[in-house]
């Protein structure tokens, strides 16, 4: 299947699920999130201390809750997504919180051709993406293109699926072993593939080894990797279920079914890089 057809499938899928996704997932605008079940940036502190006046681009933004959080803190934000319905929700959410939000609807892999970047001033101080680059057809090339539109000393914050979580959770039935993750092949982890009602593949989220992810940034021009984080799901042992909404920036009932697993196996990898 050619890239144009893949992009159309992606757009169809995310437009179809957009309403349910935003209704079923709690994603706050009061904190910057990196993935479901884990703490936000108030814990990781990867964002600049002073955000006022900066310019940011979000890749695969969905409802753009992270962009809205940044806009509420003085950042000029553009949110990109392939789904018009996701960006419609984002625009309505921005209006609800009385912030300005630019949107750009196109496949993330075409983004470099859609932006009008003609000078250093047009470039971005922050480029961020939470759990979206795994849907790119070529994330290495995408990162290389994104590095061209990142300002000197700007940062890129990317989170994507951890390859260890591509395995199958098993109960080994023995007290000394308990439960754990079975991963048949770390070097070719099975993709997270979504199908239509006829069993035809619609969209695929690909897992990569940590080494491959590191190479996305190492091969790009003038980027230095500053942090690689394999976060543990938040400890909720002393928190009532109804209070989770106040402490966890991104979760849903479906994600919560994986919480105990994500306490033992990292769900995602967070990578922070800086432009030299």
Q: Are strands 192-195 and 201-205 parallel, antiparallel or unpaired?
A: antiparallel
Residue 172 in this model has a pLDDT that exceeds 80: no
Please tell me the distance from the alpha carbon of residue 276 to that of residue 260, in angstroms, as a whole number: 39
Confidence of residue 198 (pLDDT cuts 50, 70, 90): low
Contact 31, 65 (CB under 8 A): no
> 78-95 pLDDT, tens per residue?
999 999 999 999 999 999
Residue 1 in this model has a pLDDT that exceeds 60: no
Q: Which residues pair with 169 in a beta bridge?
A: 181
Produce one character per residue of 234-246: b if its CB has 16 or more CB atoms within 10 Å, e if not. bebeeeeeeebee
pLDDT at 5: 73
Topology of the domain comprising 3-165+207-275: Rossmann fold (3.40.50)
Rounded to two decimals, the pTM is: 0.93
Closest CA to 75 of 149, 129, 125: 125
Confidence of residue 179 (pLDDT cuts 50, 70, 90): confident
> 42-85 pLDDT, tens per residue?
999 999 999 999 999 999 999 999 999 999 999 999 999 999 99
Kindly report the backbone phi and psi dihedral angles of residue 81, in degrees, each rounded to the nearest multiple of 5, phi listed first. -155, 160
- Phi and psi based region of residue 132 (left: phi greater than 0; alpha: psi -120 to 50; beta: remaining): alpha
List Cβ neighbours of 255 (8 Å cut-off, separation of 6 or more): 25, 36, 37
Confidence of residue 28 (pLDDT cuts 50, 70, 90): very high
Closest CA to 260 of 181, 157, 144: 181
Q: Which residues pair with 76 in a beta bridge?
A: 55
> 216-273 pLDDT, tens per residue?
999 987 999 999 999 999 999 988 888 898 899 999 999 999 999 999 999 999 999 9
The first and second tokens of residue 174, run together, are 């023995």
Residue 13 in this model has a pLDDT that exceeds 90: no
């Amino acid at each position: 299947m050619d890239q144009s057809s893949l992009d159309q499938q992606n757009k169809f899928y995310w437009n179809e699920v957009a309403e349910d996704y935003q209704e079923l997932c709690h994603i706050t605008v009061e904190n910057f999130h990196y993935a479901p079940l884990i703490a936000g940036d108030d814990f990781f502190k990867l964002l600049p201390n002073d955000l006022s006046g900066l310019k940011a681009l979000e890749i695969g933004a969905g409802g753009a809750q992270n962009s809205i959080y940044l806009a509420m803190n003085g950042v000029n934000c553009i949110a990109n997504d392939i789904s018009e319905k996701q960006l419609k929700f984002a625009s309505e959410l921005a209006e609800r919180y009385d912030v300005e939000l630019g949107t750009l609807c196109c496949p993330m892999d075409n983004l470099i051709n859609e932006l009008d970047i003609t000078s250093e001033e047009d470039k971005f101080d922050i480029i961020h993406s939470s759990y979206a680059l795994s849907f790119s057809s070529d994330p290495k090339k995408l990162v290389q293109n994104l590095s061209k539109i990142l300002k000197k000393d700007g940062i890129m914050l990317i989170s994507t699926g951890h390859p260890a979580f591509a395995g199958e959770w098993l109960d080994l039935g023995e007290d000394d072993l308990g439960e754990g993750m079975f991963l048949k092949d770390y070097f070719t982890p099975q993709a997270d593939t979504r199908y239509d009602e006829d069993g035809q593949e619609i969209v695929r989220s690909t897992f990569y080894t940590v080494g491959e992810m590191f190479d996305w940034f190492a091969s790009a021009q003038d980027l230095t990797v500053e942090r690689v984080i394999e976060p543990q799901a938040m400890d909720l042992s002393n928190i009532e279920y109804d209070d989770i909404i106040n402490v966890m920036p991104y979760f849903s009932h479906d994600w919560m079914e994986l919480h105990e697993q994500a306490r033992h196996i990292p769900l995602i990898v967070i990578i922070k890089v800086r432009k030299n």
